[in-house]
Structure 1
Amino acid sequence: MRFRSLAGLALPLILAAACAPADPVDGAGAPPIGDAVSELPIFDAHVHYKEPAWEAYPVESVIELMDRSGVAMALVSSTPDEGTIMLWEHAPNRIVPELRPYHGDAGSSNWTKAERMEDYLRARLERYPHEGIGEFHIHRLDTSDEALFRAVIAMAKARDIPLHVHSGAEPVRWLYSLDPEVRIIWAHAGLGERADAVYALMADHPTLLADTSLRERAILGSGDRLDPQWERILLTFQDRLMVGSDTWVNGQWDNYEAIIASNRAWLSKLPREVAEKIAYRNAERIFGREISMEQIGTR
């Protein structure tokens, strides 16, 4: 009889738990920032200044594009690294350099197999003030690369800088298995991964950062509101996200102002506090910078 009474109580308790509201998310329910988003400085967390852009877009013109778009500062990696250094030397107040492994014959598909890659990375890190290693691709996880990745992680940890990783969820999990304390920026918030997979990975790894480059259309959705799954990601992980443009080809430079405008479009639908974090405040914390619109027009 006692068993039947407890069993009778169980179902209502289960239903109550299932219907209980989720933990509150900071900013949820607050009014959107709207047109005031134009007042926010942007930190562009995914810029490349690759060799084909050097003639078409001299360093002066890159900074002018940033100025016209309200981009106060940018995280830049390039193929080869000389492009990043050119921009940084021209406008050190606007550029945060990071070291991309690609150079010579070493590209996105074979860089982990290139001879003396560890030596190359170490030498560039010792010569220049890079504040990240990447953006690099892991197209297909090959655990035989473990020794190189352990060395790369060690270099990053010794300098307290993040890895900027373009991959699916599995390689990110593997990198954390090599060292749970590694700092990672997940490029494009896992371009190719579904929103639910992005949420799951960021929930499982509370230090994981991400840039949202190339995710603008997915985030904006098709109606007046943000895509519900992406809105959940933006609100839940608002302290770990940054916007980005991904100027991987000259066509992206051609459309740079429109790309930044599309980022402002989805930021405008977020509460001011959340929009500010993703636009620039998270970058201030991550890279130890002060970012403001007063940097526009400076070098």
Structure 2
Amino acid sequence: MKHLILLPLALLSSLATAKDMPVFDAHIHYSHDAVIQVPPKEAAAILRKAGLKKALISSSDDNGTQAIYKEAPDIVVPALRPYRRRGEISTWMHDPTVITYVESRLAKYKYKALGEFHAYGDDIDTPVLQRMIALAKQHDLLLHAHSDADAIDRIFKTFPDARVLWAHSGFGRPDEIRASLRKHKNLWSDLAFRDDQASENKVPAEWRAAFEEFPDRFVVGTDTFAPERWYYIGSHADYTRGWLKDLPATIAKKIAYENAETMLSLHNEK
């Protein structure tokens, strides 16, 4: 009889693994090609199976975000990308029709962020970027910037009270990221698509120091930049839970989901 009792308990323990640490994935795209390859109902099922508490999702064009939001409004936190199609990454900041598009979407739908957008250095000084920053201020939106440190500095020079999520943290070293976090109190570091912050579920010393200095300023994400990346959302969530267990529980919870909730002001909606 003992074996009959222990087996179900072990099975239940295994099934609960996906839920033992809620994860807020703060970097997911659901662009037009992903919608075709992974239809909205399947995409929503992937988010739920991964045990995600929330997911910050944007798309090119915005129709993908709206489609997945309808399927999973309890999980999806909508973000608005300025891209209407692939191929605009290096040109959008010089195209004034982008602003017309962004303003029309903001008038029609609710969002929590603008981006992820790509901008480097003095791209921030272009009229299109300056208007984007003004719209973020007007609508109280987070700016999700795939940028270098110079561009991050320029965003805060334009709008000192901005909230900025630094996509991939510029792919910088932990010490470089820490330097920027010291300069800007409303800057968060996006760890999406990085595999150097953990090895065999152990957090390297340089990353541990960064997490300990700024426990409130790091978030995790998958970065589904291509449709096939959608099938990695679950495994990435499990990978994240694995290396977070090497950190103190209070810091792990912050990085897993609490920081993203604070960054996006979701606490105000509870």
The CA deviation at 1:196 is 1.4
RMSD: 2.0
The CA deviation at 1:289 is 3.4
Find the aligned partners of 1:47 and 1:107 in 2 and give their Cα distance.
18
Please point out which of 90, 109, 129 is paired with 2:110.
Answer: 129
Deviations 1:179-230 (A, max 9, x none): 2111111111222x22211111111112111221112x21014x66311111
1:218 aligns with 2:203: no
Please point out which of 177, 198, 209 is paired with 1:198.
Answer: 177
**1:181 partner amino acid:** D
Find the aligned partners of 1:94 and 1:133 in 2 and give their Cα distance.
18
1:161 aligns with 2:141: yes
Structure 1: give runs of 5+ residues left out of the alignment: 1-34, 291-299
- Which structure: larger Rg? 1
The CA deviation at 1:238 is 1.4
Find the aligned partners of 2:18 and 2:230 in 1 and give their Cα distance.
22
**Structure-1-length-normalised TM-score:** 0.79
Sequence identity, in percent?
32
Secondary structure in structure 2 of the residue aligned to 1:232:
helix
Deviations 1:49-75 (A, max 9, x none): 011111221111112112221112100
Find the aligned partners of 1:37 and 1:205 in 2 and give their Cα distance.
34
**Structure-2-length-normalised TM-score:** 0.87
Secondary structure in structure 1 of the residue aligned to 2:196:
helix
Structure 2: give runs of 5+ residues left out of the alignment: 1-15
The CA deviation at 1:84 is 0.5
* Residue 126 to residue 48, structure 1, CA distance change in 2 (3 Å): same
Moved over 3 A (4+): 35-38, 139-144
* Residue 139 to residue 90, structure 1, CA distance change in 2 (3 Å): same
| Pairs within 5 Å for 1:211-250 | 211-215=190-194, 217-221=195-199, 225-250=202-227
Please point out which of 41, 45, 49 is paired with 2:22.
Answer: 41
Asked if the contact 1:79–1:103 (Cα under 8 Å) also holds between the matched residues in 2, the reply is yes
The CA deviation at 1:120 is 1.4
The CA deviation at 1:171 is 0.7
Please point out which of 45, 52, 65 is paired with 2:46.
Answer: 65
* Residue 116 to residue 101, structure 1, CA distance change in 2 (3 Å): same
1:102 aligns with 2:83: yes
Asked if the contact 2:32–2:61 (Cα under 8 Å) also holds between the matched residues in 1, the reply is yes
The CA deviation at 1:131 is 0.9
- Greater relative CO, 1 or 2 (CA 8 Å, sep 6+): 1
Secondary structure in structure 1 of the residue aligned to 2:197:
helix
Asked if the contact 1:36–1:268 (Cα under 8 Å) also holds between the matched residues in 2, the reply is no
Q: How many residues are paired up?
A: 252
Please point out which of 153, 158, 161 is paired with 1:173.
Answer: 153
Please point out which of 131, 147, 150 is paired with 1:151.
Answer: 131
Secondary structure in structure 2 of the residue aligned to 1:47:
strand
Find the aligned partners of 2:230 and 2:18 in 1 and give their Cα distance.
22
Who is 1:8 aligned against? Answer: none
Deviations 1:224-248 (A, max 9, x none): 6311111111122111221101011
* Residue 104 to residue 37, structure 1, CA distance change in 2 (3 Å): closer
